[in-house]
Amino acid sequence: MTVDSFKFMPRTLAESLKVWPYTDMSAEEIPWTPLGRPLQECTVALVSSGGLYQECDRPFDLDRERREPLWGDPSFREIPRDISQGDLRAAHLHYRNDHVLDDVGCMMPLAALEQVLAEGRIGAISEKHLTIMGYQPKVGTLLRETAPLMADRLREMDVDVVLLSSG
């Protein structure tokens, strides 16, 4: 692996993250669902951990994180496929929000997804994409409550394929 995981962070943060108590999943097999049909027939959704939300929706709770720095809002939000740039908001204290507020494509490639749909590379795009706020030192609620709800929501929208990306 030549990709340097720590290139863009200050040394103190990098040192912390090297010894971080990550969730140990080694007792459980890595799940696997085979791609059962051609991608050209699949409905695709995006999931971002950038703390993105719609202007009319409830923001991720940053005030509580400011009061309790080991807590991160573990809920999820929905982003319409055709959201306008002006309706996009970001609530995440661990990266500079300005860039995604200029262009959602930095964290959710909505235009690119429409392009590959137009080319016939994928079958359809989900009406809604999902977002979380990825700063979660304690992941219990995200893992046990939020993620299963996200799975239900995606299957409800007949999604087959999910492309996730981090903050």
Please report, as residue ranges, which positions from 75 to 134 form the binding site for another protein (by CB under 8 A).
Answer: 93-100, 102-103, 105-109, 111-113, 115-116, 121-122, 132, 134
Among 73, 77, 91, 167, binds another protein (CB under 8 A): 167
Return the residue of 16, 41, 55, 58 that touches another protein, per CB under 8 A: 16
Give dist(CA 66, CA 122) in Å, integer.
41
8 Å CB contact between 88 and 108: no
Select the residue interacting with another protein from 11, 26, 118, 120 (CB under 8 A): 26
Nearer to another protein by C-beta: 79 or 154? 154
* 4 is an interface residue for another protein by CB under 8 A: yes
Nearest Cα to Cα of residue 88 among 113, 115, 51, 117: 51
27-66 residues near another protein, rule: CB under 8 A: 29-36, 39, 42, 47, 49-50, 65-66
| Residue of 18, 56, 86, 120 interacting with another protein (CB under 8 A) | 18
Is residue 156 a contact point for another protein (CB under 8 A)? no
81: which DSSP letter? T
Query: To the nearest whole angstrom, how small is the minimum distance from the Cβ of residue 71 to another protein?
Result: 9
Q: Which of 54, 60, 125, 135 binds another protein (CB under 8 A)?
A: 135
Cβ distance 161 to 155 under 8 Å?
no
Residues belonging to the chain: 167
Q: Which of 41, 55, 58, 69 binds another protein (CB under 8 A)?
A: 69
Euclidean distance between CA atoms 152 and 133, whole angstroms: 19
Dist. CA 122–CA 145, nearest whole Å: 30
Residue from 74, 82, 77, 73 nearest 57 by CA? 77
Closest distance to another protein from the beta carbon of 156 (Å): 11
Q: Quick one: tokens of 159?
A: 């999604």
